[in-house]
């Protein structure tokens, strides 16, 4: 009998072969049935059940937290700025107690482009929610129509973002306080943000898809920038797709936060440090009233009210520009004086063109044919208003569109602005250019706002949103359309020539929504894409007397223990993709708080 050890018990939904690795200590004995003995086990496990067991707060622990919510930091949100703050805070001090509140469930484990091709259909649709009432004025503007919404799942928008991560110049951060500029000049600021997101130049990815065509596009735009009248600089696209570890051989892997957050959870547990507590399906409704010292001591959520008595707990809002503003406006009457009074963001132009392979010095025809992609970033300004734009350039040469579809979907710089199969199908002897151009809304527009809706009793959606276009916005849009055409012409001009290839054509959509290639420029209504992105400025850093909602320490005015991260902080939108900069400031906040707590 000594030869027969008592087998370890297992969860009722699985056996040891799936849950125990060789050499790992057996799971502790549990007084429950295992392997269907003596009765059948649970037959309907859910994803939430499985993930909660290993990573997330269960109901029992949540009841304890409701009775005593004494943490060092309570982080609202689980997207990029939440990860940036949590990672940096625990790197500074692994014994900090952190609670992360996520409004949604666990869904995608990774960025959707890292998943097989059928998962690409999940972009938008039911996965995008709009927790506000849009104004009729915005809805009826055919160029604007709406603002893109939230992704209410663990990881937030990080599982869908484009991953373009340019580093803005100091002069691009127009109107930013000197303290924010000073933070970006610290030697640690940009390297840490890039390290967090695995940012890599498209010319340094090391993937065979990004080779000859990448070099050709980079060189042409470097040599011909002066022919794009309003352009100021260009560079190989900086993408959050790089190596997860120094020895990894996976060259193109779009970054998202679910895996890094769970990795931090495991590291904290294995290092005997303070646990990282993560709660799903918990919508923050409002923060409690402030005491005479300016501290809030409670958070009202859809799963109960968290309370604490001491003054050490700090609330870090990492939920996005509009959700953060919603929480502040519902929580603190004083915030109504500044929060949501300024709203900025980006509008878009989308132009698709193609040029024959004969227009390029790089000649894949004489080499084994394979998929090639290039990604390049070009930035400029309207000379009158100084408002900024940038062009996100994707070039693709697909000799076998049907067979290339899986790799093209995975490795395209931005799936939402990628060439379609219809565009590639008859372009096997061409390079197809997809240019997504983003321009910034003026910050001087009182008709852009985000404000409380007293007629809506739902505290999580009781907001109204409006965007409109100023004359300077319209002028910038015209400028960036012209710059996009000039960029395409320079990319399609053969070396040694002064004009584009005779074969340069543009994608047109007719009244029946059927596409075709034609030499003429498409109509303006075909290229201007409804849907505002990268919303900013709802609680920007600056003195209250100048409309600011947050002080130089990221602290909400008059509230001692509530802090803001993300695009809400930006006084102006610029045109650059904001995520890496947002993460840099979230890391800066963590370093500052650690310094004040020592």
207: how many CB neighbours lie within 10 A of its CB?
15
In this structure, are residues 523 and 350 in contact, taking their beta carbons and an 8 Å threshold? no
Q: What is the DSSP letter of 431?
A: E
Torsion of CA 240, 242, 245, 251, to 10 degrees: 140
Helices (H), 286-320: none
Side-chain half-sphere CA neighbours of 291 within 13 A: 10
- Which helix (H) or strand (E) segment is 284 a member of? strand 284-287
Q: For residue 586, which of 33, 92, 245 has the smallest C-alpha distance?
A: 92
Buried b (16+ CB within 10 A) or exposed e, 572-586: bbbbbbbbbbbbbbb
Q: What is the DSSP letter of 295?
A: -
| Whole-Å CA distances, 416 to 120, 163, 234, 409 | 10, 11, 22, 10
Buried b (16+ CB within 10 A) or exposed e, 172-190: bbbebbeebeebbeeeebb
Burial status of residue 251 (CB atoms within 10 A of its CB: 0-12, 13-18, 19 or more): middle
Q: For residue 64, which of 275, 285, 318, 284 has the smallest C-alpha distance?
A: 275
pLDDT computed for residue 488 by the predictor:
98
Q: For residue 148, which of 6, 346, 299 has the smallest C-alpha distance?
A: 346
Tokens encoding 283: 């919508």
pTM of the model: 0.93
Q: What is the pLDDT along the chain (598 residues), one digit of tens a residue?
A: 444 444 444 443 344 444 455 555 555 555 556 688 888 888 888 887 888 888 999 999 999 999 887 999 999 999 999 999 999 999 999 999 999 999 999 999 999 898 887 887 777 788 899 999 999 999 999 999 999 999 999 999 999 999 999 999 999 999 999 999 999 999 999 999 999 999 999 999 999 999 999 999 999 999 999 999 999 999 999 999 998 777 777 889 999 999 999 999 999 998 889 999 999 999 999 999 999 999 999 999 999 999 999 999 999 999 999 999 999 999 999 999 999 999 999 999 999 999 999 999 886 656 678 999 999 999 999 999 999 999 999 999 999 999 999 999 999 999 888 899 999 999 999 999 999 999 999 999 999 999 999 999 999 999 999 999 999 999 999 999 999 999 999 999 999 898 898 999 999 999 999 999 999 999 999 999 999 999 999 999 999 999 999 999 999 999 999 999 999 999 999 999 999 999 999 999 999 999 843 3
> In sequence order, what are the beta bridge partners of 372?
397
- Which helix (H) or strand (E) segment is 471 a member of? helix 471-491
In this structure, are residues 39 and 278 in contact, taking their beta carbons and an 8 Å threshold? no
pLDDT computed for residue 3 by the predictor:
44
pLDDT computed for residue 365 by the predictor:
56
């Amino acid at each position: 009998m000594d030869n027969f050890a008592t087998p370890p018990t297992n969860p009722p939904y699985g056996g040891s072969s799936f849950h125990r690795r060789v050499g790992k200590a057996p799971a502790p004995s549990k007084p429950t049935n295992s392997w269907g003995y003596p009765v059948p086990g649970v037959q309907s496990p859910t994803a939430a059940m499985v993930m909660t067991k290993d990573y997330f707060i269960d109901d029992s622990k949540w009841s304890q937290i409701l009775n005593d919510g004494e943490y060092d930091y309570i982080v609202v949100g689980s997207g990029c700025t939440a990860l940036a703050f949590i990672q940096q805070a625990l790197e500074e001090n692994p014994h900090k107690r952190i609670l992360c509140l996520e409004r949604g469930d666990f869904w995608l484990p990774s960025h959707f482009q890292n998943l097989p091709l059928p998962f690409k259909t999940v972009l938008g649709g039911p996965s995008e929610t709009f927790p506000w009432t849009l104004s009729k004025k915005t809805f009826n503007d055919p160029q604007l129509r709406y603002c893109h919404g939230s992704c209410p799942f663990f990881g937030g928008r990080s599982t869908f973002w484009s991953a373009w991560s340019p580093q803005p110049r100091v002069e691009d951060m127009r109107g930013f306080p000197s303290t924010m500029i000073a933070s970006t000049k610290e030697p640690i600021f940009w390297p840490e943000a890039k390290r967090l997101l695995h940012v890599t130049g498209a010319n340094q990815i090391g993937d065979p898809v990004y080779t000859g065509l990448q070099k050709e596009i980079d060189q042409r735009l470097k040599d011909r920038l002066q022919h794009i009248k309003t352009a100021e600089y260009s560079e190989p696209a900086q993408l959050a797709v790089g190596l997860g570890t120094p020895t990894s051989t996976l060259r193109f892997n779009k970054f998202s936060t679910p895996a890094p957050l769970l990795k931090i959870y495991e590291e904290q547990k294995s290092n005997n440090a303070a646990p990282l507590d993560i709660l799903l399906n918990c919508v923050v409704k409002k923060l409690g009233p402030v005491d005479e010292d300016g501290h809030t001591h409670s958070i009202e959520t859809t799963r109960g009210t968290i309370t604490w008595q001491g003054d050490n707990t700090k609330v870090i809002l990492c939920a996005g520009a509009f959700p953060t503003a919603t929480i502040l406006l519902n929580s603190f009457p004083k915030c109504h004086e500044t929060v949501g009074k300024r709203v900025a963001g980006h509008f878009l132009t989308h132009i698709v063109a193609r040029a024959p392979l004969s227009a390029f010095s790089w000649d894949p025809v004489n080499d084994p044919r394979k998929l090639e992609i290039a990604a390049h970033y070009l930035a400029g300004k309207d000379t009158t208003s100084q408002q900024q734009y940038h062009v996100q350039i994707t070039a693709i040469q697909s000799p076998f569109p049907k067979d290339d579809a899986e790799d093209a979907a995975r490795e395209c710089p931005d799936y939402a602005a990628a060439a379609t199969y219809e565009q590639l199908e008859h372009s096997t002897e061409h390079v197809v250019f997809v240019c997504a151009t983003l321009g910034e809304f003026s910050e001087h527009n009182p008709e852009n706002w985000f404000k409380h809706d007293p007629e809506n009793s739902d505290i999580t959606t009781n907001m109204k949103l409006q965007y409109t276009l100023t004359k300077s916005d319209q002028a910038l849009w015209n400028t960036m359309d012209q710059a996009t055409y000039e960029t395409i012409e320079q990319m399609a001009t053969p070396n040694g020539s002064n004009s584009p290839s005779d074969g340069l054509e543009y994608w047109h959509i007719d009244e029946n929504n059927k596409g075709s290639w034609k030499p003429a420029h498409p109509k303006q209504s075909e290229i201007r894409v409804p849907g505002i992105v990268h919303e900013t400025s709802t609680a920007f850093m600056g003195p209250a007397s100048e409309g600011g909602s947050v002080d130089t320490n990221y602290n909400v005015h008059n509230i001692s223990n509530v802090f803001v991260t993300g695009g809400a902080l930006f006084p102006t939108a610029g045109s650059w993709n904001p995520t890496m900069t947002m993460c840099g400031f979230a890391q800066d906040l963590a370093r500052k708080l650690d310094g004040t707590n020592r």
